Amino acid sequence: KAGVTQTPRYLIKTRGQQVTLSCSPISGHRSVSWYQQTPGQGLQFLFEYFSETQRNKGNFPGRFSGRQFSNSRSEMNVSTLELGDSALYLCASSWTGGAGDTQYFGPGTRLTVL
């Protein structure tokens, strides 16, 4: 069974640009969550999507947005990039995102903002 896949694996952008990251969940999983990981802040929750609806959101500015498609694939967009957005962006999927549902992570997209 294929795991969570994320594309691209690496990205280099400059300040002010925007970026779109993609995530394909494990087959059958309908919940997709996004996280930002940095050395200083660790893993921080961005948002969760289920059945094409954002169900939960972390404490990030509106420049961070996402969406989910009918096949459960998800995209995350960051507009007006800042240097501090450099991080590993991780996507995780689970069956329903319900109570106690285990999340399985993809390999991440390493974003560097110059």
Partner 1 sequence: EDQVTQSPEALRLQEGESSSLNCSYTVSGLRGLFWYRQDPGKGPEFLFTLYSAGEEKEKERLKATLTKKESFLHITAPKPEDSATYLCAVEGYGQNFVFGPGTRLSVLP
User: Which residues contact partner 1 (rule: CB under 8 A)?
Assistant: 4, 6, 33, 35, 42-45, 48, 55-56, 58, 88, 90, 97, 99-108, 110
Q: How far is the CB of 108 from partner 1 (least distance, A)?
A: 5
Specify the pairing of strand 109-113 against strand 53-57: unpaired
Closest C-alpha among 67, 70, 75, 72 to residue 22 = 75
The nearer residue to partner 1, 90 or 113, going by C-beta atoms, is 90
The nearer residue to partner 1, 82 or 101, going by C-beta atoms, is 101
Contacts of 73 (CB under 8 A, 6+ apart): 22, 23, 24, 25, 32
Q: How far is the CB of 33 from partner 1 (least distance, A)?
A: 7
**Coil, helix or strand at residue 83:** helix
The nearer residue to partner 1, 42 or 62, going by C-beta atoms, is 42
Q: How far is the CB of 63 from partner 1 (least distance, A)?
A: 19
Burial class of residue 28 in the structure, from the number of CB atoms within 10 Å of its CB (0-12 exposed, 13-18 middle, 19+ buried): exposed
The nearer residue to partner 1, 3 or 16, going by C-beta atoms, is 3
